[in-house]
Every structure is written in C-alpha cells, then in structure tokens.
Amino acid sequence: MRVLESRIDTGSARYAENRAAYEQLMATLRERQAWAASGGPGRARSIERHLARGKVLVRDRIDLVIDGETPFLELSTLSGYGQYDDAAPGAGIVTGIGLVHGVPYVFIANDATVKGGSLLPVSIKKHVRAQDIALENGLGVIYLVDSGGAFLPLQDDIFPDKDHFGGSFYRQARLSARGLPQLSVVLGGCTAGGAYVPALSDEVIMVAGIGRIFLGGPPIVKAALGEIIDPDDLGGAVLHTRTSGVSDYLAADEREAYGRLREICSTTNGRAITERQQWADWTDPEPPAFDPVEIYGIVSADDRIPFEATEIIARLVDGSRFSSFKPEWGESIVCGFARIWGHLVGVIANDGIIFSESALKATHFIELCEQRRVPLLFLQNTSGYMVGRDSEAGGIAKNGAKMVSAVANATVPKYTVLIGGSYGAGNYGMCGRGFNPRFLFAWPNSRIATMASETAQTVLVDIRLAGMKGEETTDEQVAALRAEVAEQYDSQSDPYHATSRLWDDGLIDPVDTRGALGLCLALAARQDEPPRGPGIVYRM
C-alpha cells in the first residue's frame, strides 16, 4: 500500500486558525464530559451522600473491575445533555467496553448519584443500546446495579413499548441463552422491574448492607399488606444469598465483590480480545506517518470551506498507507483499503456532494469488501446526493439507491464516524444510524440534519410563503421566518443535540478515533466469520 502524501502546511495561518477553533471545541467537549461525571443540580450533595455511605462512584467501580492499565471505551457519555432540565447527566447510567482477564465485556452501570440511578427514557435507550452492542459483538455483560428502577414521573415513556424497560429484560434473557455471560453485582436498590436485572443474570453477587432486591419496597409492602419491615430484612444481601437464593455470593464490601466478579470472569471461557479468527486479516500495527493531532488544524473552522478526506485518512490509518480504489473516477467519494491497529478495513470517505459516479463507485467498493470479508469504515462529511436536472437525468435516485441497498445488505462489520456534515440521504448511504453500523461515533465539529441550515432557510421560507397564497409579506417578516428556521436547524443539527438522544455512540476526540476503531475492529475479529449477505437486485 502506498503512503499518502499530505499537502497540509502546519505553519500556515489557516492551519493555526482551524487548530485554535478545534481546541475550543475540545475544551467544550471536556467541560461537558466533566459535567456528566459530577455536574447537574444538587449533584454535589448526592455525591457526598453516596461517598458518606461508603459507596464507590460509578466510574471508579468500573476501574476496580477491569484489568489494570487497560482503557475503558465509554459510550454515549453525554446522553441526556440539555434534556430533563439538565438533571440527568449521562442519563444516570454509564455504559462501555472494558477488559477482564483480557476478555472484552459490555458494562452497564447505574449512577446512583443521578436521580437515585433511576432510568429515564434516554437511560433505557442507552441500556438497551449497550445490550444490542453486546449481542452483535458477541460480548458478555456486567451489570453494576444501583438503581431506583423506572423514573416514575415519566413512566409512560419507559414502561410498555418495544425497546422500553421490558425490552431490556427480553434482551438479557436472549443474551444469556446465546452463551454471553450476564453477571450482576448488586450495589444498591433493585426495586420492582429492576429486580429482574439480577434475577435474569447467570451469576449474582450482592454486597452486604447496600445491595437490596425486592419486587415491592417497604412502602409498597406497608400499603398492600400493612407489614412494616426493614429493607434489609425484606430484600438484603444476607436474605437473598442464604434464604431466597436470588443471589449466589455475599460480599462484605464492594472491593470483595469486584474480586469475586473477576474470579467468575476467569471461568466464563470467553474469547480474549487478541483471539483473532482466521477470516479476519490482521498484521502487526504501526502508527500513522502523520500526527493525528494535526486533524485539529485540518478540519475547517468555517464549515463552508471543505477539507480533504485523504488528509484525515492519513492521520487515522497504519503507516498512513492507503490503497485507493478508482482514484480517478467518482472523486467525491474516496474508497480504498487501509489498516487500523493492524486490521484490514475498507474505507469510504466523502469529499463533498455525492454524484452518480461516486455512488456507483462506493457500491462497487462495498461489494468488493463484502466478497473479501473486509470490514467497512464510513467517514461521513457530505451535504448529500447531488440535485438538479442533469443529476436527475443521470439517474442519481437509482444510483444512490444502489449504494443504500449495498450498505443495508453488507454483512461485514460496519463502522461510521461523522467527521463533518451528515446531511440528507448522505446520512443513509454513508451508513448512518438507521443502517446499523456496529458503532457510530461523531466528532465535536459534526452536524446532522435533513439539510444544512442555510438551505433549510430558503426551502422552508419558500414553502411557507407559497402557503400564504399571495398575501403581502414584508422583508421583516421574511427575515423573521428565516431566523426562526435558522434557530431550529442550528440547534437541532448541533452534535450535542444528537449525542444527547443517542443518535451516535458518543462524541469522540479525533485523536482518540484510531484507538476506538482499533478496539471495535478487534471485537469483530475475535468473532466467527459473519454470514454472507443475500443477492441484491440493483436498479440499472
């Protein structure tokens, strides 16, 4: 594979300007991530109360379980951001992937310092998403349970529908049946529905004095039966480990529980992260020839100025080596083979608007990767498919559809990173959320919407004016309409709006992207070869 060349002048004024702007974006991201860990109204008091009870904070709990000196890939850290009056940092639940004895597990850990660890609608979405990741990547799940169960004021958005609370138990039962270990440590409340998390687990550890499992807590028992009972007598660790058998192990404190959990993990016979299967093409990794931090100076501070996809690829892939497919045709999409942390991957990256040729080239390349069993990486930065008379006459609709169809049916592992704009059907053809990439990450400069704000202002204002059927409108009224649309599109295409709602698996630093993708690819490489997909009918 050839080493890509770079045309970036790191001494230029434009580079310095972009870099300064990106560092500002990163400062905002870090500040908001810190908010997820310890911010929100009344949070300081609940953290203090949690620690005063001798309990460990949620991220420290995970650190105590995973192998020392190994990273934890936290997902959707900023879920809930800007929603629920900002009273649910991180949606009150931490999810991610970490190693125990070299074997990767999904972690689902309640944060009891946020609304008692109770689950809001977005918390359920996060919980269920983590289980779906476990299923697709063949991972066991470790539940660190400390939760008030369903967030009762919003019960109708949590309880009965598909993918609501019930969906999490459905998934847990099915994950277990697939031989993917479901392990729980009970570190706080597991009330009502929450009791089913440990009850559906393969093995359960309860911590004395803090862990409690009951279908109805003391207030309900008092109301229903008139019994007055101490919470520990009703559902404490001793009762459940020695009498009911709901729990398998009693731990005197959290640290003992995590030691026991690691002991259980040593018996699960799971595939280690390094156990690559034969279908997965891997060689020794090498770092990129160009420093990934230069991405900060490449991404344009002004989103009307494009930046080149190959400059980004050169800073993500091993040795900056890239074998470009059809480099002189359909140039607004860059396709080619590269390696990330040693794993062969087919990269599809936008260099602007998608034309018919670019859509066909991408379709062809997806089929090559599907034939050769090479995972696909989509780097999204597009305003969508080309419009206009020539483009329609050239069959952009059917050619875009071929690309969409190829993406939908590819069975090799797919990954998506939003490195810039993700607009219109470009989001779909480039493997957006609706196309089930195994992981979808976004950079803090990304934007996601049906169309860019300026286009929307023109389109929506025209529609509204047409609807007014010739009524006189002043320039001020038109300007006010434009401002209203701009406000809506600017706020809704903001990456924090997207990540808050789990349209992605998290906002990540461009510098960390290579590492995150390396882990994701390694997860797939340890699985059996994915089944080949169905034959597709392409509209010619």
Among the listed residues 338, 339, 342, 340, the one whose alpha carbon sits nearest the alpha carbon of residue 285: 342
- Is residue 54 involved in binding ligand COA (CB under 6 A)? no
Name every residue whose Cβ is closer than 8 Å to that of residue 170 and which is 6 or more positions away in sequence: none
Stretch that binds ligand COA, among 95-103, 144-152, 456-464, 488-496 (CB under 6 A): 144-152
Stretch that binds ligand COA, among 7-15, 149-157, 170-178, 245-253 (CB under 6 A): 149-157
Stretch that binds ligand COA, among 148-156, 166-174, 332-340, 344-352 (CB under 6 A): 148-156
Residue of the chain from 89, 90, 96, 217 that contacts ligand COA (CB under 6 A): 217
Task: Determine the residue type at 325.
Answer: F
Looking at the Cβ atoms of 41 and 287, the one nearer to ligand COA is 41
Residue of the chain from 148, 384, 413, 437 that contacts ligand COA (CB under 6 A): 148
Rounded to a whole number of angstroms, the minimum distance from the CB of residue 450 to ligand COA is 35
Q: 273 near 99, Cβ under 8 Å?
A: yes
Residue of the chain from 16, 152, 223, 225 that contacts ligand COA (CB under 6 A): 152
Rounded to a whole number of angstroms, the minimum distance from the CB of residue 131 to ligand COA is 19
Looking at the Cβ atoms of 210 and 265, the one nearer to ligand COA is 210
Stretch that binds ligand COA, among 21-29, 75-83, 150-158, 362-370 (CB under 6 A): 150-158
b (16+ CB within 10 A) / e for 204-226: bbbbbebbbbbbbbbeebeeeee
- Is residue 237 involved in binding ligand COA (CB under 6 A)? no
Name every residue whose Cβ is closer than 8 Å to that of residue 517 and which is 6 or more positions away in sequence: 316, 340, 341, 345, 377, 415, 417
Residue of the chain from 150, 344, 386, 452 that contacts ligand COA (CB under 6 A): 150
Looking at the Cβ atoms of 123 and 499, the one nearer to ligand COA is 123
Contact pattern from residue 117 through residue 136 relative to ligand COA, giving x for each residue in contact according to CB under 6 A and a dash for the rest:
-x------------------
Alpha-carbon distance of 167 to 144, in angstroms, equals 19
- Is residue 191 involved in binding ligand COA (CB under 6 A)? yes
Among the listed residues 91, 71, 59, the one whose alpha carbon sits nearest the alpha carbon of residue 499: 91
Stretch that binds ligand COA, among 95-103, 151-159, 349-357, 404-412 (CB under 6 A): 151-159
Q: Which residue is nearest to ligand COA (CB)?
A: 148
Residue of the chain from 80, 96, 193, 437 that contacts ligand COA (CB under 6 A): 193
Among the listed residues 411, 451, 448, the one whose alpha carbon sits nearest the alpha carbon of residue 433: 448
Rounded to a whole number of angstroms, the minimum distance from the CB of residue 194 to ligand COA is 6
Rounded to a whole number of angstroms, the minimum distance from the CB of residue 94 to ligand COA is 17
Name every residue whose Cβ is closer than 8 Å to that of residue 87 and which is 6 or more positions away in sequence: 40, 41, 114, 115
Identify the three-state secondary structure at position 77.
coil
Q: What angle do CA 217, 52, 142 make, to 5 degrees?
A: 60
Identify the three-state secondary structure at position 141.
strand
DSSP string, 298-350: HS-SSTTS---HHHHHTTTSGGGEEEEESTTSSTTEEEEEEEETTEEEEEEEE
DSSP string, 514-530: HHHHHHHHHHHHTSPPP
Looking at the Cβ atoms of 151 and 355, the one nearer to ligand COA is 151
Alpha-carbon distance of 381 to 445, in angstroms, equals 11
Q: Specify which residues 422 forms β-bridges with.
A: 382, 448
Residue of the chain from 2, 3, 42, 468 that contacts ligand COA (CB under 6 A): 42
Alpha-carbon distance of 158 to 82, in angstroms, equals 19
Residue of the chain from 121, 149, 181, 495 that contacts ligand COA (CB under 6 A): 149
Stretch that binds ligand COA, among 135-143, 188-196, 351-359, 368-376 (CB under 6 A): 188-196
Residue of the chain from 138, 189, 330, 375 that contacts ligand COA (CB under 6 A): 189
Considering Cα of 314, then 319, then 323, then 328, what sign does the dihedral take?
positive
Rounded to a whole number of angstroms, the minimum distance from the CB of residue 157 to ligand COA is 12
Residue owning tokens 């640290």: 255
- Is residue 116 involved in binding ligand COA (CB under 6 A)? yes
Contacts of ligand COA in 386-445 (CB under 6 A): none
- Is residue 223 involved in binding ligand COA (CB under 6 A)? no
Alpha-carbon distance of 529 to 275, in angstroms, equals 13
Site residues, ligand COA (CB under 6 A) = 42, 46, 115-116, 118, 148-153, 189, 191-193, 217
